[in-house]
Structure 1
Amino acid sequence: MELQQMRYVVALAEERSFTRAAERCFVVQSALSHQIKALERELGVTLFARTNRRVELTVAGEAFLAAARGSLDAADRAVVDAAAAVGEVRGTLTIGVIPTVTAINIPAALAAFHRAHPAVRIRLRGGGSHEFIAAINDGAMDVAVLGLPDSMKPRGVSTHVLARERLVAVVSASHRLAGRRRLRLDDLADETFVDFPAGTPGRAPSDLAFEAAGVRREVAFEAMGTELILDLVRHGLVVALLSPAVVPDDDALRAIPLSAGPTRIEYLAWSDFNPSPAAEAFLRHVTPPNPAPQPRTR
């Protein structure tokens, strides 16, 4: 049994199409089909149920797939570790980045890392803090930038605090509060808000702050990206609470500090369980010398 045959099985299981699997593996379809049939003869089991239109794993195929993935991961890690032993960092680095990251210039950090370690394949993923923590715990992600309220500590991952910041109220230049130098949360009680979706870490700092102040607020619009949020504010539809670092210098907007406003902490998170050489190298690039990471919490 060859590793390449295992790669063909994984590709076909994920693509569910001989054509797409062959394209993914950079081989002709007949060669991929022949190798999988040869592997089935060698194993004495059928891995895939096939018709002219459908390809599905059999029960035996499901069992083989899990072991094949583990074997391929081990083989890839062996190559990476061998290279690391002679000072070369290789492999894949998967990084999760929240939409509101402010503490790290991600493009600049990736450019510097790529120049230092050109053999590493970089995969950038967008999403939310909770899904990144789960992905790190599952081994599907190496490193992530998280944004959480100060009362919500990341669990199951190692972390390094990148920044602490207090959110500001963002209003349009024509808003009745645009001339104020500072606001309290109860000044905003009658306003209509835009915020990140309910239940997400991006929304949590604001929800917790208003709840603690005993002030009710109406969130009429939800959005995952700051550009859309800011556009809604520019048009005078809503008020937003955002990191001051994401509010541009724009005559149509006003960013106003808040007394006892929401506080947000930005973390760099990773798994300390057998991190890859690429992950360790990236952490050295984006954290100060001898950082004091926060211990993994359960």
Structure 2
Amino acid sequence: MKLLISRRLPDSVMAAAAARFDVTDRAGDGPMTQAECIAALAEQDAVIPTLGDAFGAEVFASAASPRCRLLANFGVGYNHIDTAAAEAAGVAVTNTPGAVTDATADIAMTLILMTARRAGEGERMVRAGRWTGWHPTQMLGLHVTGKTVAIIGMGRIGQAIARRCHFGFGCRIVYANRSAKTVDFPADRLSLPEAVSTADIVVIALPGGAETNHHIDADVLAAMRPHAILVNISRGDVIDETALVAALQSGRIGGAGLDVYEFEPAVPEALTRMENVTLLPHLGTAALEVREAMGRMALANVIALADGEPLPNPV
């Protein structure tokens, strides 16, 4: 079987793939172009795509009767793949749930703590040689322990974040979700406006896609408390980035911690100039053992296809 890996994965995963398949290791770190996506559907038996490799409806329309039978997405989010168009073309889509949960939750906690305690601002001060020494009212931030945290999207990752906040920091948990969840910690399900208006910290853990595009808009931001911080570890376009910039500039909310951006890798200059914003370069799953686990999970789906077995992780 011919397998295209859109961006080079950890060496152990590449070696395992090469031992089983005729692997094309695509050069470069950027997303696949539309022409590359069309060619991959025509020439490969399976593809391991990842974030930004846009397999949209127009790509499937341009690849009549594709040879490819599987897009084994490297990542849990798959909003860059038109799953309806894939299904119509006879191409299965899988992802890597579970492997990313704890690492992404850890990055959420990093953003919560850095933003609440002004860690990025403080580090910039020290590096610039502007720190003049400790004093009692220097860089006072938000004390996280005991605060109310709103989780928007209570799936695997949302629950992992909530668990860390509750058991680690004694936080009250509220959440907004399409359905109620049974969890091993106290949590109150509220409407989205109620959840964000109640919280000191709002964490976005929604899946990407058309249904959640700009789910966090100007109205939601206006419902937040003026001291509250917003953290996003989901997909950038879940937040209306223009509305977020406006809310931050006007002091409508207290700060933001972002690992993803609406048009990444482009980040609005206005965000980079704000001291009350923590900006990370999409580090959610950036740990070697996590990326290896994701790669093995994606590869397991390709192996199942080759062996005629049910796919372990269909979306």
- The interval holding the TM-score normalised by the smaller chain is 0.3 to 0.5
Computing the radius of gyration from Cα coordinates, the structure with the larger value is 1
Larger strand proportion, structure 1 or 2?
A: 1
Query: Which structure has more RCO (C-alpha within 8 Å, separation ≥ 6)?
Result: 1
**Could you tell me the TM-score, scaled by structure 2's length?**
0.32
**Could you tell me the TM-score, scaled by structure 1's length?**
0.33
